[in-house]
Copies of this chain bind each other. A is one copy, B any other.
Amino acid sequence: MTTRVPVVERILSANDRMAEKNRELLDRTGLYSINIMASPGAGKTSLILKTLESLDGRLRLGVVEGDLASSIDADKAAAAGLPAVQINTGGECHLDAAMLSDALNSLPLSDLDLVLVENVGNLVCPANFQIGTHLNVLIASIPEGDDKPYKYPGMYRGVQVLIINKIDLLPYVPFDMDYFQRGVEVLNPGVVTFPVSCRTGEGMGDWVDWLVRKVKERRE
């Protein structure tokens, strides 16, 4: 008589395996890392640059910029004094773990506390690919409108932090914050939320204070 032994296997895709390797590398180096996702033009690069300014030296940042084409964002980060790598995905609509692996190899990891990864501007595809970072951050933007959680549920579900950017434009565009927040709450109850304006700096203090605590907590 033979006994059937159930074998439960977690099959990892090639991308997930590479994401795990990225995480191991980041953990080994004592680094914290964030995957920043948003629509085109919601303020990913602006958030990175304003975070640098608001941190005022409290954390050492490195930046990975993802775009289909151009080095506009990495050039901006480098001009602000940050170690920065640009990934051009060609036609791909998201970063993947192999791209991040290449980029991490080009950064001076042991001199950094935090790596900010700017994904391709897209509210769909980046949500489906883990890249190995510790935290997923979504930037919503006021002029995008208040219905985005209802239309892009996968993205709103998969993040731990929601930054609501361009609150300085609230007087000039129709945006029902209650309707927006209700949509978020259904998908991602209790997600940590920071309303900010990367342009005026409003709200940035709360975000960077939270970030500094998060990086320190991981080290204790």
Contacts and interface: CB of A to CB of B under 8 A. Distances in A.
Interface string A130-172: 0000000000010111011011111000000000001011001
A174 B40 CA distance: 15
A101 interface: no
B128 A124 contact: no
Contacts of A69: 150-153
A99 B70 CA distance: 33
A93 interface: yes
Nearest to A94: B124
Interface stretch (A26-34, A115-123, A205-213): A115-123
A107 interface: no
Given A41-B141, A41-B143, A124 B169 contact: no
B39 A151 contact: no
A67 interface: yes
Interface string A66-110: 011110100000000000000000010100000000000000000
A152 B68 contact: yes
Interface residues of A, number: 35
B72 A147 contact: yes
Copies in the complex: 2
A123 B124 contact: no
A109 B159 CA distance: 42
Interface in A29-75: 39-41, 67-70, 72
A124 B68 contact: yes
A72 B166 contact: no
A11 interface: no
Given A40-B148, A121-B151, 4 more contacts: A39-B121, A41-B145, A69-B153, A120-B124
3 tightest A-B CB contacts, nearest first: A41-B144, A93-B124, A143-B143
